[in-house]
């Protein structure tokens, strides 16, 4: 992934957590949260 350094520290930490520590159940829940947030933001931006 190029340009990963341009993202905020919180995003980097979340990605690291997903890659290293999250269980399968947590991954499914995180995916739902992220999908919802992306859809909501996309609608806001038009």
Count the Cβ atoms, other than its own, within 10 Å of residue 26.
12
Is the pLDDT assigned to residue 5 strictly greater than 90?
A: no
Confidence band for 1, pLDDT divided at 50, 70 and 90? low
Q: Which residue from 46, 44, 43, 15 is spatially nearest to 31, judged by alpha carbons?
A: 15
Task: Tell whether the model's pLDDT for residue 19 goes beyond 80.
Answer: yes
Please report, in angstroms and rounded to a whole number, the separation of the first and last CA atoms in the chain: 27
Q: Is the pLDDT of residue 24 over 90?
A: yes
Given a cut of 90, whether residue 12 has pLDDT beyond it is yes
The overall average pLDDT reported for the chain is 94
Question: pLDDT-based confidence at 4, cuts 50/70/90?
Answer: confident
**CA–CA gap between residue 12 and residue 6 (Å, rounded):** 10
């Amino acid at each position: 992934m190029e340009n990963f350094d341009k993202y905020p520290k919180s995003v980097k930490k979340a990605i690291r957590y997903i890659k290293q520590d999250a269980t399968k159940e947590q991954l499914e829940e995180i995916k739902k949260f992220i999908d919802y947030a992306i859809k909501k933001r996309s609608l806001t931006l038009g």
